[in-house]
């Protein structure tokens, strides 16, 4: 019996030794690829942090600094200087061109769109609004609303209505949604779609009764009802 146990023990030991030998062979075989892979991963992480610390962050700070004067001109309604600069400071167009990969460069696109919208260059405004990448719901609502305004000025009412509805849905709060729902309703109404317009006005009244648009919704609802009765 003892001999049998000893034989089993020897067999188990042999199996373990065989397994260890197999593992050692695999490790030895793939040692270099594993080592190169680990070194490569470390290098990739190092390059990422170096890029962020030595290039990305300084570039962002530089872009913000270059954009400062242009934003001041924009706020003073000096839109030509805001767009093109003053000879000493970059304009928004240059900031967007040179620093487009930064957050400041992205924001410059929105300012350029607004400047073009305010000066009647609606196609150009649309181009820059569409290049802008909003980073929150409010910004998304505002850019969609401005796209609606630009298309409305171009009398592309179908696109304008679409963007006004997107703007209302992008940020369904009292800050922006009732304004864009009303704008959509007015354009829909001018196209003779009184039932659809009435629904939009009723939505404003129901969901945003405390806003100025909510207070005025009743007269728009009555107007569309009268139009529907005359059909």
What pLDDT shows up at residue 103? 94
What pLDDT shows up at residue 50? 43
Alpha-carbon distance of 22 to 24, in angstroms, equals 5
The residues, any chain, with a CB within 8 Å of residue 48's CB and separated by 6 or more, are none
What pLDDT shows up at residue 82? 97
Task: For residue 134, give the DSSP letter.
Answer: -
Task: Pick the range with the lowest mean pLDDT from 7-11, 74-78, 134-138.
Answer: 7-11
Task: Pick the range with the lowest mean pLDDT from 9-23, 86-100, 158-172.
Answer: 9-23
Banded model confidence at residue 146, pLDDT cuts 50, 70, 90: very high
Backbone angles phi, psi at 192, to 5 degrees: 80, 10
Is the pLDDT reported for residue 85 higher than 80? Answer: yes
Higher pLDDT, 121 or 5: 121
What pLDDT shows up at residue 53? 53
Q: Which pairs with CB-CB distance under 8 Å and at least 24 residues apart come from 187-191?
A: 187/152, 187/157, 187/160, 187/161, 188/161, 189/220, 189/223, 189/224, 189/227, 190/157, 191/157
Is the pLDDT reported for residue 83 higher than 50? Answer: yes
pLDDT digits (tens, 9 = 90+) for 90-136: 999 999 999 999 999 999 999 999 999 999 999 999 999 999 999 89
Domain assignments of the chain as residue spans, ordered by start: 135-231
What pLDDT shows up at residue 7? 46
Can you say how many angstroms the Cα of residue 73 is from the centroid of all Cα atoms in its chain?
25
The residues, any chain, with a CB within 8 Å of residue 209's CB and separated by 6 or more, are 215
Task: Count the alpha carbons within 13 Å of 73 in the hemisphere toward its beta carbon.
Answer: 22
Q: What angle do CA 108, 110, 115 make, to 5 degrees?
A: 90
Where do the H-state alpha helices sit in the chain? 2-51, 57-75, 79-84, 92-98, 103-118, 122-131, 137-153, 157-170, 177-190, 194-207, 212-230
CB distance 67 to 112 below 8 Å: no
What pLDDT shows up at residue 31? 55
What integer is the mean pLDDT of 142-171?
97
CB distance 148 to 185 below 8 Å: no
The CATH H-level (homologous superfamily) assignment of domain 135-231 is: Tetratricopeptide repeat domain (1.25.40.10)
pLDDT digits (tens, 9 = 90+) for 170-216: 988 899 999 999 999 999 999 999 999 999 999 999 999 999 999 99
pLDDT digits (tens, 9 = 90+) for 28-57: 555 555 455 554 445 454 444 444 454 478
What integer is the mean pLDDT of 134-143?
94
Can you say whether the dihedral through the CA atoms of 99, 102, 104, 106 is positive or negative?
A: positive
What pLDDT shows up at residue 97? 95
């Amino acid at each position: 019996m003892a001999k049998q146990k000893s034989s089993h023990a020897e067999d188990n030991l042999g199996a373990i030794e065989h397994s260890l030998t197999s593992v050692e062979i695999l490790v030895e075989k793939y040692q270099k690829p594993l080592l190169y892979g680990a070194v490569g991963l470390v290098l990739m992480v190092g390059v990422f942090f170096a890029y962020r610390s030595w290039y990305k962050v300084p570039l962002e700070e530089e872009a913000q600094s270059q954009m400062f004067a242009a934003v001041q001109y924009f706020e003073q309604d000096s839109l030509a200087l805001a767009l093109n600069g003053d000879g000493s400071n970059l304009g928004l167009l240059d900031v967007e061109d040179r620093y487009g990969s930064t957050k400041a460069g992205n924001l410059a696109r929105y300012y350029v769109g607004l400047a073009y919208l305010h000066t009647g260059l609606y196609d150009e405004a649309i181009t820059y609004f569409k290049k802008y990448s909003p980073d929150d719901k409010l910004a998304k609502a505002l850019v969609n609303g401005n796209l609606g305004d630009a298309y409305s000025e171009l009398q592309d009412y179908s696109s304008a209505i679409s963007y006004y509805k997107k703007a209302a849905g992008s940020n369904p709060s009292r800050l922006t949604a009732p304004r864009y729902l009303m704008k959509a309703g007015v354009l829909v109404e001018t196209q003779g779609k009184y039932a659809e317009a009435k629904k939009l006005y009723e939505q404003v009244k129901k969901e945003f009764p405390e806003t100025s648009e909510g207070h005025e919704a009743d007269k728009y609802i009555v107007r569309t009802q009268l139009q529907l009765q005359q059909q």
